[in-house]
């Protein structure tokens, strides 16, 4: 069902690039959505042909004069993800728009529109992380697949000591090594609060550099220098507490079938209704550029 409020929006900001606006209004609440690049799509489903290089696993040497034999050719695969329609609907009475309001609100319309843009960014972030790809139909909405479901190759599980304390660092680097083995190393890790605290505690018993001028020492780790490269650690409230995602950002994009647009709806009462609608999916160029750990 549509989210409804007893309030309304005009088209005062119709010239704004609404899509950029919805991403930027709350980057701290939608970091993955804000960080990845964007592209377009022309169908209800985004498809990518994927392939992997062989080689590097054995000595390649031919006997002099030997007959040349054919290599085994591995078939390319096609990855797909459905577009999902995101929307908010507002119903604002004309009275609510003109009466005096607290907190410096001049227009209920503009206040509610901005609020719904923030909520849309959070809704998109949630789906990009944990959504399950669904074809949909006349009785069910299409849904996109998020990192939780599209990353299938580089996965690991951890429980007990391997999911907490200093042993967690080995678990994290094991995932990075697995990703390195399949061809990509991550540049970004997305974690929820509890796991972020564990990562920040990894250096408690390690000598740290202190800024002599500022006389400060930062306890929170936002950049982790692993054996497989430097990784940004991003706190994301929508990552499940039992998960950690590691990604190479350039392989993940937001693909828009329809960018977010503000749409005035038919006036049928002493109120005006407006909708914000957009349609997009997570474009995964290669799922092996991602990895995840499931904790128990």
The CATH number given to whatever domain includes residue 42 is 3.30.2400.10
Residue 243 shares a structural domain with residue 215: yes
pTM for this entry: 0.82
How many domains in the chain? Answer: 2
Residue 112 shares a structural domain with residue 228: no
Residue 200 shares a structural domain with residue 87: no
* 3-48 pLDDT tens trace: 444 443 434 444 455 666 656 656 668 999 999 999 999 999 999 8
Residue 34 shares a structural domain with residue 115: yes
Nearest to 296 by CA among 246, 242, 244: 242
Residue 45 shares a structural domain with residue 136: yes
Torsion-angle region of 75 (φ positive above 0: left; ψ -120 to 50: alpha; else: beta):
beta
Residue 220 shares a structural domain with residue 117: no
- Whether 30 and 24 have beta carbons less than 8 Å apart is answered as no
Residue 4 lies in a domain: no
Residue 112: partners with Cβ closer than 8 Å, 6 or more residues away: 5, 7, 9, 90, 92
* 108-131 pLDDT tens trace: 888 888 889 889 999 999 999 999
* 132-176 pLDDT tens trace: 999 999 999 999 999 999 999 999 999 887 777 778 888 999 999
Q: Hey, how many other C-beta atoms are within 10 angstroms of the C-beta on 30?
A: 26
pLDDT band at 212 (very low <50, low <70, confident <90, very high): low
DSSP for 135-190 reads ---SSS--B---HHHH--SEEEEE-GGGGSTTHHHHHHHHHHHHHHHHT---SEEE
pLDDT averaged over the chain? 85
The residue range of the domain holding 275 is 18-51+77-146+253-283
Alpha carbons 257 and 209: distance in angstroms, whole number: 48
φ, ψ of residue 19 to 5 degrees: the values are -65, -45
Residue 167 shares a structural domain with residue 196: yes
Percent of the chain beyond pLDDT 70?
A: 84
pLDDT band at 254 (very low <50, low <70, confident <90, very high): very high
Task: For CA atoms 283, 194, 232, 121, give the dihedral sign.
Answer: positive
Alpha carbons 189 and 166: distance in angstroms, whole number: 17
Residue 177 shares a structural domain with residue 245: yes
Residue 259 shares a structural domain with residue 132: yes
Nearest to 272 by CA among 3, 85, 5: 5
Residue 117 lies in a domain: yes
Residue 61 lies in a domain: no
- The domain that contains 183 carries what CATH number? 3.30.2320
Residue 206 lies in a domain: yes
Residue 71 lies in a domain: no
Residue 156 lies in a domain: yes
C-alpha 80, offset from chain centre: 17
Residue 173 shares a structural domain with residue 197: yes
Neighbouring-strand partners of residue 264: 274
Alpha carbons 249 and 254: distance in angstroms, whole number: 11
């Amino acid at each position: 069902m549509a989210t409804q409020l007893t309030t309304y929006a005009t088209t005062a900001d119709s010239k704004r690039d609404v899509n950029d606006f919805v991403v930027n209004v709350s980057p701290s609440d939608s970091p993955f959505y804000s960080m990845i690049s964007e592209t377009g799509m022309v169908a209800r489903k985004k498809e990518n042909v994927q392939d992997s290089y062989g080689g590097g696993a054995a000595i390649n040497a031919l006997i002099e004069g030997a007959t040349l034999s054919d290599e085994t050719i591995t078939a390319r695969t096609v990855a797909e993800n459905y577009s999902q329609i995101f929307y908010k609907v507002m119903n604002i009475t004309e009275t609510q728009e003109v009466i005096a309001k607290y907190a410096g609100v001049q227009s209920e319309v503009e206040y509610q529109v901005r609020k719904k843009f923030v909520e849309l960014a959070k809704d998109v972030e949630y789906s990009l992380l944990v959504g399950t790809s669904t074809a949909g139909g006349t009785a069910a909405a299409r849904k996109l697949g998020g990192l939780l479901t599209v990353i299938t190759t580089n996965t690991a599980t951890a429980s007990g000591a391997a999911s907490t304390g200093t042993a967690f660092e080995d678990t994290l680097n094991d995932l990075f090594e697995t990703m390195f083995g399949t061809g990509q190393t991550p540049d970004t890790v997305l974690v929820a609060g509890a796991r972020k605290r564990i990562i920040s505690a990894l250096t408690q018993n390690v000598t740290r550099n202190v800024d002599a001028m500022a006389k400060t020492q930062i306890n929170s780790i936002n950049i982790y220098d692993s054996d497989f490269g430097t990784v940004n650690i991003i706190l994301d409230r929508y990552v499940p507490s039992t998960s950690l995602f590691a990604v190479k950002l350039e392989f993940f994009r937001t693909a828009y079938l329809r960018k977010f647009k503000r749409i005035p709806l038919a006036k049928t009462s002493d109120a005006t209704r407006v909708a914000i609608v957009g349609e997009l999916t997570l474009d995964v160029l290669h799922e092996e550029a991602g990895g995840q750990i499931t904790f128990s």
